[in-house]
Each structure stands twice: as C-alpha cells, then as structure tokens.
C-alpha cells in the first residue's frame, strides 16, 4: 500500500464487517439531486440578468446544503436504528486509509463498511465507504468514488491548514 498524506483528527467513526453481498445499513450518497437540477436551470438565465442569476445561485447553494444535512441525519438515524453508534475518536485520516489509535478488533483482511462523520467546508457530512482491515489498527479504503476521494483529500488539507494556523 502506498501511503498518502494523513493527518490526525478527532472524528466520529463506526465500522462493521460486511455481510456478503448485503448492502450497507446506510446507502452512500453524494451530491444533491434537486439543487443539481436547479443549477442547470440557472445556467440558462441570460448573462444580462446577472443579479437574478447570483441570487438564484445563493438560494440553490443553501438548498444543496440542506439536502446534504437531511441525508446525513437520515444516515445517522438509520445507523442508530440498527444499533450502530458512531464513536468520537482520534484517528489519522487520509484518502487511502484510516489509522486508529486502538486495535480494530477484527482479523486482517476483513471487509468492512466504514462510516465517517466529518466537518467539511463548515458543513457536517456522513461518508459511507468500503474498507479492508490491515494489520491491527488500519482500515484501507477500497472502491472510493471520485466524490468521496475529493471529500477526503479536502478534509485532509482543511485540517492541515487549521493545525498550521493554530501553531502560528
């Protein structure tokens, strides 16, 4: 495994062994369908009406944020209904793997459903991914979609910027 840049962060995390072809308890979703359609409609507003276009864009951005928050809350509720609680802990996060400060409690090679709650761009997000246990404390992320990879990279650099500002 090639190591990517990883940062320490306190996040909420849960993982559980995958059960064959059974889908994860919470379906992963990125993007916002209604706001994406609205952005397409806004793009057709004429350039001469830039004030209207800017106002509509601001409303659609807010609507997209609400859609993401509803998805996150539904995901957390779905996990809680199945007895899965996210646990707040310090881990090292990167776009390729999560390294915990404690043993995973599953044998290496175990396929996992991974749930990670992060704050990205001042919005809470619930990321649902697949992983494989490596060693005693590492979850290697597999089959990460481009959207999730982008979110993990952005979170990594966001946390690094915060840490450097704190140290300055």
Q: Which residue has the higher pLDDT, 34 or 166?
A: 166
Q: Which of 40-54, 61-75, 143-157 has the largest mean confidence?
A: 143-157
Q: At what angle are helices 33-42 and 50-81 packed, to 10 degrees?
A: 170
Residue 18 lies in a domain: yes
56 burial (CB, 10 Å; 0-12 / 13-18 / 19+) is: middle
User: Where residue 3 falls among pLDDT bands split at 50, 70, 90?
Assistant: low
Residue 41 lies in a domain: yes
Q: Which domain, by its residues, includes 22?
A: 7-167
Q: Which of 58-72, 81-95, 98-112, 148-162 has the largest mean confidence?
A: 98-112
What are the structure tokens assigned to 163, written together? Answer: 């840490």
Q: Kindly state the percentage of the chain with pLDDT values over 70.
A: 88
pLDDT tens for 7-62 read 899 999 999 998 876 656 665 555 556 777 777 777 777 766 778 878 888 888 88
Q: How many distinct structural domains can be found in the chain?
A: 1
Residue 2 lies in a domain: no
Q: What is the pTM of this model?
A: 0.74
- pLDDT for 1 beyond 50: no
Quickly count helices (H) and strands (E) in the chain.
3, 6
For position 77, what pLDDT does the model report? 86
Three-state DSSP class for residue 3: coil
């Amino acid at each position: 495994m090639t190591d990517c840049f990883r940062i320490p962060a306190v996040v909420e995390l849960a993982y559980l062994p995958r059960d064959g072809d059974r889908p994860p308890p919470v379906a992963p979703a990125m993007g916002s369908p209604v706001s994406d359609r609205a952005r397409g409609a806004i793009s057709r507003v004429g350039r001469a009406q830039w004030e209207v276009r800017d106002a509509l864009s601001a409303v659609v951005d807010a609507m997209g944020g609400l859609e993401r928050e509803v998805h996150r809350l539904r995901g957390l509720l779905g996990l809680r209904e199945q007895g899965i609680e996210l646990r707040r802990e310090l881990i090292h996060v990167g776009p390729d793997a999560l390294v915990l400060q404690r043993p995973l409690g599953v044998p290496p090679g175990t396929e996992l459903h991974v749930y990670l709650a992060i704050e990205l761009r001042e919005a809470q997000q619930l990321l649902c991914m697949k992983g494989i246990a490596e060693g005693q404390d590492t979850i290697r992320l597999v089959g990460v979609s481009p959207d999730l990879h982008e979110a993990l990279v952005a979170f990594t650099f966001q946390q690094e910027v915060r840490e450097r500002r704190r140290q300055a």
